[in-house]
């Protein structure tokens, strides 16, 4: 049923798509979260759907309580949905639909520290060796995908959006379009370049010479390989080697970041490589440095209490 709030959600989604250049995945996430809020309101206080100014902090807190209580959602999911509401109410306030961005006054629930899942150096080598054993053009493609993820730490949407023209062989770099349509240039390692060149050679024999503005990674029919296809290939590759709760391409992004820090990379440099807007986002990876410091302390300090 159409209401003032659902109409505003449509306007908001169109705005973040056109003006903010958010990815299709982010758009879907916002749509799901805001639609769920409307469904909650239809039972909690249906008048709010057509009178957004009646939505107060109590209403939003009740929604958060419903998510964590009745739906048993994790704090991180609840926090994400509150962030969506804050962005949406900020938009409605700017458009004059509401007189106050009430969501801005609701505190985000404290999140537990979560160490991202990542592969050890031996595990990622095993994944790459296994993929490298294939002689098919799709096997070479999958190796190039995993090598590129591990070499650059890019996001799945960034890799899926790559065109042949984004590769710079002379400078050994790749240009990606990140969040908010921000471009960044990332160095690419020798092994990843070799995998990409072998894949391109194989696709040339399979599909002929391709234009520079065509998608880099292709599906079996020669059409661009999307996020879901990439996700399936990466999951299958990791699943054959390691047992992790999560086996998405983000595991390779975490692996890239963790291994760089483990080798002494600068946190600010890692922030730029990952395309993070704030250093606080990158600091989730400092668990590596903390573990190393603890080991050094236990080994060297005379009062560490080690047996």
Q: Please indicate whether residue 276 is annotated as part of the active site.
A: yes
Integer Cα distance of 237 and 96 in angstroms: 50
Q: Please indicate whether residue 253 is annotated as part of the active site.
A: yes
Closest by CA to 134, choosing from 77, 80, 195, 185, is: 195
Token duo for residue 205: 């024999």
Phi/psi at 212 (5° precision): -70, -25
E strand or H helix that includes residue 284: none
Catalytic residue among 81, 141, 155, 233: 155
Integer Cα distance of 262 and 266 in angstroms: 10
Catalytic residue among 81, 253, 254, 259: 253
E strand or H helix that includes residue 286: none
Catalytic residue among 30, 118, 199, 285: 285
Closest by CA to 235, choosing from 220, 252, 222, is: 252
Catalytic residue among 86, 250, 259, 271: 250
Q: Please indicate whether residue 80 is annotated as part of the active site.
A: no
Catalytic residue among 51, 163, 179, 206: 179
Q: Please indicate whether residue 57 is annotated as part of the active site.
A: no
The catalytic site residues sit at: 155, 179, 250, 253, 276, 285
């Amino acid at each position: 049923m159409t209401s003032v709030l659902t109409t505003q959600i449509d306007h908001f989604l169109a705005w973040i798509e056109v003006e903010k250049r958010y990815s299709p995945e982010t758009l879907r996430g916002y749509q799901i979260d805001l639609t769920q809020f409307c469904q909650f309101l239809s039972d909690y206080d249906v008048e709010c759907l057509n009178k957004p100014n009646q939505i107060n902090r109590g209403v939003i807190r009740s929604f958060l309580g419903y998510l964590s209580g009745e739906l048993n959602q994790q704090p991180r999911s609840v926090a994400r949905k509150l962030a969506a509401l804050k962005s949406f109410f900020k938009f409605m306030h700017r458009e004059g639909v509401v007189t106050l961005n009430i969501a801005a006054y609701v505190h985000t629930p404290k999140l537990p520290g979560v160490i991202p899942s990542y592969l050890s150096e031996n595990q990622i080598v095993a994944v790459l060796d296994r993929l490298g054993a294939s002689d098919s053009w799709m096997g070479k493609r999958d190796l190039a995908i995993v090598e590129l993820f591990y070499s650059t730490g890019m996001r799945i949407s960034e890799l899926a959006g790559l065109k042949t023209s984004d590769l710079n062989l002379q400078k050994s770099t790749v240009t990606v379009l990140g969040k908010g349509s921000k471009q960044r240039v990332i160095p690419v390692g020798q092994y990843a370049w070799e995998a990409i060149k072998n894949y391109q050679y194989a696709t040339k024999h399979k599909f002929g010479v391709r234009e520079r503005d065509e998608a880099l990674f292709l599906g079996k029919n020669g059409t661009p390989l999307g996020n879901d296809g990439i996700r399936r290939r990466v999951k299958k590759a990791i699943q054959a080697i390691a047992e992790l709760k999560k086996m998405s391409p983000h595991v390779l992004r975490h692996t890239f970041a963790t291994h760089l820090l483990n080798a002494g990379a600068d946190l600010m440099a890692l922030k730029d490589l990952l395309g993070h807007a704030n250093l606080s986002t990158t600091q989730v990876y400092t668990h590596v440095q903390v573990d190393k410091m603890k080991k050094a302390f236990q080994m060297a300090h005379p009062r560490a209490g080690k047996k």
